[in-house]
């Protein structure tokens, strides 16, 4: 029965052009083409709330969760001796907006987005489409097969996980470098030290030219400084989510 | 074979006491008791990084992701016409720290935590144990059965989802009330208006007695004011994560 649907979808349905473009990306012919159509339908500029139901935002919401969990599990098993902090950091490197935009680009989802939309593509639409596509595949095939898809077609194809381990996340040194280049002074100020679940906790502020740019809390000063530096880099536009 | 393991674990193993306490909570006798033992083993005050591997933090990391996805999917299907904003808000009401602590309390996970630990329990240990338990069940039974567990034993037993829809998340009016009670002035200041993905975006600050307490960005002023008010309530200690 499913085979029949697939035959129809590929050769006869009004969505056959989309299905032909989709097949090399996902590796199979979908039974429910409408879900995949939705995955690549971007919300227009319209603020009409009802319209939101018929675009890809619901699928993005679902796909974001599924993708995050698959990556979480993949890392959990790949690094049996790593602690939670390392795993969380690695996961965010993989599923952060910027990384997803790049993956969407490499998967050539722009072809599918252009097929479904008339508006000009933005980078973030590519990342959103990755999430929506994962959501659509989940609804079509369930968790285990979606996991296979994500690991084989996304992680192994487009990500160098070992390289990601080395990605510079020393935000403190990056921020220092930026300050030196721009002739601005930088220092870190301990705002508070308190107890949380019986452990010491530190609240640190990054001060640039005497202005408090960002603050962060952590169990040790070094981590709080790193997080505060990262926040400051977003604040100053040195890092962006695009 | 699994039956044999279960028989052994329940009647003979050195973990049989834990297994006897666990069974009414999870509804089955686990094959791999060590994972469940780990789920209820809290990190001591120790800062030893190696120790982190042998406590429940890795399982919490995994369980947090799995639980979030199951809840995301549950809501996605329960509210077929809801937009992404509503679904995200509902999800965070369910999986937020405070809600998980309450669920852990209702599930009487303190019995299992007390069995495994000698330290005094904190509220947040209950919420963490819910996550770690979901992680352990996932490793034992896979996604579909964990989904059944979460929906039947957690969502249907301990959560009134329709009630949650009505939970007051009008932080602006709550904060106003608090200010009036404490004789403090409150107003909202538009800090910036800019374009993001072709849409207007607003940066709003909550000012209390002339001091900037918190800021937030959103696509409309009302939402930015709500988020800024929520942040301010945490900042002022009116809302807590405990």
Q: Does B121 touch chain A (CB under 8 A)?
A: no
Q: pTM of the entire structure?
A: 0.76
CA distance B74 to chain A (A): 10
For residue B156, pLDDT over 50 is answered with yes
Q: Considering only CB atoms, which chain B residues are within 8 Å of A83?
A: 49, 52-53, 57-58
Q: Does A105 touch chain B (CB under 8 A)?
A: no
pLDDT at position B44, please? 59
pLDDT at position B47, please? 41
Q: How confident is the model at residue B49 (pLDDT cuts 50, 70, 90)?
A: very low
- Average pLDDT for B26-43: 88
Structural domains in chain A, sorted by start: 2-165 (1.10.1520.10), 171-235 (3.30.160.20)
Does the distance separating the beta carbons of B53 and A65 come in below 8 Å?
no
Under a CB-based contact definition with an 8 Å cutoff, are residues B165 and B94 in contact? no
For residue A235, pLDDT over 90 is answered with no
Out of A61, A84, A124, name the one closest to residue B60 (CB).
A84
Does the distance separating the beta carbons of A122 and B61 come in below 8 Å?
no
For A189, list phi and psi in degrees, rounded to 5: -120, 130
Return d(Cα B6, Cα B10) in angstroms, integer: 6
Does the distance separating the beta carbons of A84 and B57 come in below 8 Å?
yes
Return d(Cα A23, Cα A26) in angstroms, integer: 5
For residue B76, pLDDT over 90 is answered with yes
Q: Which of A48, A67, A69, A220 to mutate to test the interface with B (most CBs of B within 10 A)?
A: A69
pLDDT at position A47, please? 41
Return d(Cα A227, Cα A219) in angstroms, integer: 12
Does the distance separating the beta carbons of A61 and B84 come in below 8 Å?
yes
pLDDT at position B241, please? 63
* Cβ-based neighbours of A151, under 8 Å, separated by 6 or more: A70, A74
For residue B236, pLDDT over 90 is answered with no
Instruction: Based on the residue annotation, tell me whether B105 is a catalytic residue of this protein.
Output: no
Q: What are the tens digits of pLDDT across the range B5-17? A: 888 888 888 888 8
Burial (0-12, 13-18, 19+ Cβ within 10 Å), A150 = buried
Q: Which of B76, B94, B141 to mutate to test the interface with A (most CBs of A within 10 A)?
A: B76
Instruction: Based on the residue annotation, tell me whether B64 is a catalytic residue of this protein.
Output: yes
Out of B65, B76, B83, name the one closest to residue A72 (CB).
B65
Return d(Cα A131, Cα A109) in angstroms, integer: 11
- Closest-CA residue in chain A for B124? A197
Q: Which of A34, A47, A50, A61 to mutate to test the interface with B (most CBs of B within 10 A)?
A: A61
Residue A183 vs residue B242, higher pLDDT? A183
């Amino acid at each position: 029965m499913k085979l029949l649907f697939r035959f129809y979808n590929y050769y006869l349905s009004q969505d056959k052009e989309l299905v032909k473009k989709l097949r090399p990306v996902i590796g199979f012919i979908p039974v429910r083409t409408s879900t995949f159509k939705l995955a690549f339908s971007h919300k227009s500029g319209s603020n009409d709330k009802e319209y939101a139901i018929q675009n890809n935002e619901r699928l993005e919401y679902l796909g974001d969760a599924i993708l995050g969990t698959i990556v979480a599990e993949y890392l959990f098993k790949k690094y049996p001796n790593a602690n939670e902090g390392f795993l969380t950091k690695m996961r965010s490197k993989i599923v952060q907006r910027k990384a997803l935009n790049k993956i969407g680009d490499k998967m050539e989802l722009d072809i599918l987005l252009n097929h479904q939309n008339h508006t000009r593509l933005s980078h973030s639409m590519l990342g959103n489409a990755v999430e929506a596509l994962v959501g659509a595949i989940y609804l079509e095939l369930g968790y285990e097969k979606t996991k296979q898809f994500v690991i084989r077609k996304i992680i192994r194809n487009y990500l160098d996980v070992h390289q990601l381990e080395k990605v510079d996340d020393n935000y403190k040194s990056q921020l220092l470098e930026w300050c030196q280049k721009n002739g601005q002074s930088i220092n870190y100020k301990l705002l508070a030290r308190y107890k949380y679940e019986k452990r010491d906790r530190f609240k640190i502020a990054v001060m640039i030219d005497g202005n408090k740019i960002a603050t962060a809390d952590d169990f040790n000063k070094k981590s709080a400084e790193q997080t505060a530096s990262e926040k400051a880099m977003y604040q100053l536009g040195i890092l962006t989510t695009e």
